[in-house]
Amino acid sequence: MPVTTVPVTTVPVTPVPVTIAPRGSSRPALAGPVRAARPPRHLADLDPADRRAAAEQLGQPGFRADQLARHYFGRLTDDPAQMTDLPASVREELAATLLPRLLTAERELTCDRGMTRKTLWRALDGSYLESVLMRYPDRVTMCVSSQAGCGMGCPFCATGQAGLTRNLSAAEIVTQVICGARSLAQGDVPGGPGRVSNIVFMGMGEPLANYGSVLSAIRRLTDPVPAGLGISQRSVTVSTVGLVPAIRRLTQEQLSVRLAVSLHAPDDGLRDELVPVNRRWKVAEVLDAAWGYAAATGRRVSIEYAMIREVNDQAWRADALAGLLAGHLAHVNLIPLNPTPGSRWTASDPGVAREFQARLAARGIAVTVRDTRGTEIDGACGQLAAASRPGAATG
């Protein structure tokens, strides 16, 4: 789908200076970013039982944690002044202890007449991450990051070029969605007040390499209020580069989230280059794990395929891909490559992409071309954060 070219608006967001000492460290607080071992604990890291225990540790009855969660997940507020059902004397302490501000919006870029909004977040330790909110007529999708950076090294991906900074905590993942949900509820996104209906783990990072936090974030996002935000599991997509043991583990979780597998090539020779983790888990193993997931959940697996000119877009590769997928619960998502700065690769010629699509369709494979919304504010996955790293030429 072509991207609507509209002027890009940069909304300056006042950065909040952060001074923080690593938890458990005896070092004094230093000015400027300091690598924290872990972000502070937050309500959204905890299940309801652990929240109650945390409230009790503060000398409060356990139900105070449910009240706090109702504000956070139900009313989308972390402002103690608005929590009038909590005694004034305990609001501040509960909020300070269980609702620390984990992320600061450093930049917000909008396009598509405000319907696409990308936020560059700075975490307490100075790490950068991104989320994108996309409003469509029938839904609002949030694309979230699961890691600051990524260690998988796919050469066409801006996040991959930058390497892994660290895993995000569950609450840092959830916060990206809560902030988007709050903007929508307040009517800050054109189209009137709305709700987040879909979540895709397609921002920075490899979600299955941060398994524990991602699973816990999925539960917080999909459990009903006040345990979580109450988004349907079926509306959540976890995209993976193909970490086979983690796909098998996810298969056991009894979730109904959608799995997307970033395949990008049907043959190991090319996939070894485009997706270096393929040297560990080959195409056949990845797809075997994907079919196991489809069988357990009854859900079609989405096969992601970035169309790279004269690299993976040949007709014979379309036929090879069709051969791998025929008869399986799969859907192919063709993504026009979004070239990263300095990359030798570019997007497939549209005619070639159409031919690739047609060859899959002719073999009965469900196939769509990914909406590339926000390309002009994105560059590509991870580019905004990459440009914001200290020492980068742009920011």
How far is Cα 343 from Cα 395, in angstroms, rounded to an integer? 19
| Cβ 207 vs Cβ 246: under 8 Å | no
Applying CB under 6 A, the site for ligand SAH has a residue count of 17
What is the helix (H) or strand (E) element at residue 159, kind and residue range? helix 158-162
Residue of 161, 90, 182 lying closest to 381 (CA atoms): 161
How far is Cα 160 from Cα 316, in angstroms, rounded to an integer? 28
Q: What is the DSSP letter of 79?
A: -
Residue 337 burial by Cβ neighbours in a 10 Å radius (0-12, 13-18, 19+):
buried
What is the helix (H) or strand (E) element at residue 333, kind and residue range? strand 330-336
Residue indicated by tokens 């903007």: 183
Q: Find the binding residues for ligand SAH in span 352-391 (CB under 6 A).
A: 380-381
- CB of 54 or CB of 241, closer to ligand SAH: 241
Query: Is 338 near ligand SAH (CB under 6 A)?
Result: yes
Coil, strand or helix at 293: helix
**Nearest-approach distance from CB 206 to ligand SF4, in angstroms:** 4
Residues catalogued as catalytic: 130, 381
Chain contacts with ligand SF4 (rule: CB under 6 A): 150, 152-154, 157, 159-160, 205-206, 241, 262, 381
Query: Is 340 near ligand SAH (CB under 6 A)?
Result: yes
**Nearest-approach distance from CB 337 to ligand SF4, in angstroms:** 11
> Which of 46, 157, 229, 246 lies at the binding interface for ligand SAH (CB under 6 A)?
157
- Residue closest to ligand SF4 (Cβ): 160
Among ligand SAH, ligand SF4, none, partner that 289 touches (CB below 5 to 8 angstroms by kind): none
- CB of 181 or CB of 377, closer to ligand SF4: 377
Going by their DSSP bridges, the two strands 236-240 and 103-111 should be labelled as unpaired
**Nearest-approach distance from CB 153 to ligand SF4, in angstroms:** 6
Query: Is 173 near ligand SAH (CB under 6 A)?
Result: no
> Which of 119, 262, 348, 375 lies at the binding interface for ligand SAH (CB under 6 A)?
262
Residue indicated by tokens 């794990």: 289
Coil, strand or helix at 142: strand
**Per-residue mark of binding to ligand SAH, 289-318 (x: CB under 6 A):** ---------------x-x------------
Q: Find the binding residues for ligand SAH in span 226-245 (CB under 6 A).
A: 239-241
b/e burial code for range 97-120 (CB count within 10 A of at least 16 → b):
bbbeebbbbbbbbbbbeebbbbbb
Chain residues that interact with ligand SAH, rule: CB under 6 A: 150, 156-157, 202, 206, 239-241, 262, 304, 306, 335, 337-338, 340, 380-381
